[in-house]
């Protein structure tokens, strides 16, 4: 009779903090976030700036750029998932109380934006996507700067996925009422970056 494979020991929050920045835990596996290039950063900045400008007018939530770690409602003694999205948004009424706001955020984002770099593992991306939605994230956007595509996944499955390419306006009515964001804005690349 074969023995069942041993389950990997899950890291605690203290263990995660000792590892430093850019570390994610995906289904119990510890991974270093991929290095990013200029196209990645420009697309990320374009999304962040557009949403931040909108939120400054209406102030019903907060947007974060790369660096905020979400514990995804995991037990801090054994972290099954801990994600660092490129951009994230939380509605003010959904922000969880924290005993120490210098540590990773215990909850989930309402919007997670993952800007995909060449070399990122497709299985890891899909596992993160499914985990975000299963835990309650309203929308997940996978942004592909090299192909200039945005894949919008919605928790309400309406529809399950929308793929935006070319000059299109994203459907954001549920998340950001009255806000218009286009693929042209997201993938606007300055001339110097195209040389």
- Round the average pLDDT of the chain to a whole number and report it: 90
**pLDDT number for residue 122:** 92
What is the domain range of residue 163?
39-68+85-194
What CATH number does residue 172 fall under?
3.90.1570.10
Q: Is 76 inside any structural domain?
A: no
CA distances for 25 relative to 11, 28, 138, angstroms: 9, 6, 21
Q: 13 lies in a domain? A: no
| Position 7 pLDDT exceeds 70 | no
> Is residue 6 in a domain?
no
The pTM for the full model equals: 0.90
User: What is the count of structural domains for the chain?
Assistant: 1
What span, in angstroms and rounded, lies between the C-alpha atoms of 33 and 28?
A: 15
Residue 107 lies in a domain: yes
Residue partners of 166: CB distance under 8 A and separation at least 6:
183
Q: pLDDT, tens digit, for every residue of 106-122?
A: 999 999 999 998 888 99
């Amino acid at each position: 009779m074969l023995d069942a494979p041993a389950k990997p020991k899950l890291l605690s929050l203290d263990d995660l903090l000792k590892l430093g920045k850019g570390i994610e835990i995906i289904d119990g596996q510890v991974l270093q976030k991929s290095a990013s290039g200029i196209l990645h950063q420009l697309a990320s900045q374009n999304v962040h700036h557009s949403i931040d400008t909108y939120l400054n007018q209406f102030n019903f939530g907060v947007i974060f750029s790369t660096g905020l770690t979400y514990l995804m409602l995991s037990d801090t003694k054994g972290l099954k998932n801990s994600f660092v999205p490129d951009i994230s948004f939380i509605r003010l009424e959904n922000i969880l109380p924290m005993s120490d706001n210098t540590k990773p955020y215990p909850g989930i984002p309402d919007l997670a934006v993952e800007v995909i770099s060449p070399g990122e593992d497709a299985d890891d991306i899909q596992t993160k996507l499914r985990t975000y939605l299963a835990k309650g994230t309203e929308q997940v956007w996978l942004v592909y700067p090299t192909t200039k595509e945005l894949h919008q996944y919605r928790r309400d499955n309406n529809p399950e996925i929308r793929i935006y390419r070319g000059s299109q306006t994203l459907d954001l009515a549920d998340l950001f009422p009255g806000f218009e964001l286009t693929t042209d804005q997201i993938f606007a690349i300055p001339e110097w970056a195209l040389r």
